[in-house]
Amino acid sequence: MNNITIQIASAVDIEELAQVEVESKIKSIPECVEDIEIDYQSTKYRWQTYFKGESPNGSKSGRLILKAEIGDKIVGFIAGHLTTRYEKDAEIQSFYVLKEYQRKRIGTDLFHTLTGWMMEQGVRSLCVGFALENKYQAFYLKKGGRYLNPHWICWDNLEEIAQH
């Protein structure tokens, strides 16, 4: 797809990130979300705490939020941070691409850019959580992830992601 740029997001992007997340949940995974998860103010507040490094519990300070833009419009984003959850080095916090921009390599580009940054930080292993009903877990499996349990997929060697 033409004119897609991937850049580091900052706190000035919080409102648009929250909008993308809420819209993505409503249009892409309505069966997986509760009302609080699509409440714009709650979502915005969660991003404010994430950018400050105050959430989630157990996360380390190293974190990166990447946004995919067409012009000045954010059409997707991915956020990840260093962690000790499940004895992994890093975790994907959030990953959303607006429904009309899915299946255009935007998610793949975001994912590979984030995991590239993670490898630069010395990360070897990664985990991501999801709702059981979330059909997008297939994306992670296609990228070489394996089930850690019914709600988590992990990679024990990030270098293997480049092969997928």
As a whole number of angstroms, the distance between CA 18 and CA 156 comes to 30
| Tokens found for residue 51 | 């950018």
Write phi, then psi, for 79 (nearest 5 degrees). Answer: -130, 135
Please say whether the structural domain 4-163 has been given the CATH code 3.40.630.30: yes
pLDDT in tens, the chain (164 residues): 568 999 999 999 999 999 999 998 888 887 877 766 778 888 899 999 999 888 877 778 889 999 999 999 999 999 999 998 999 999 999 999 999 999 999 999 999 999 999 999 999 999 999 988 888 999 999 999 999 999 999 999 988 886 76
Q: Report, in angstroms and rounded to the nearest whole number, the Rg of the chain calculated over CA atoms.
A: 15
Rounded to two decimals, the pTM is 0.91
Contact indicator for 86, 152 with CB cutoff of 8 Å: yes
Contact indicator for 163, 145 with CB cutoff of 8 Å: no
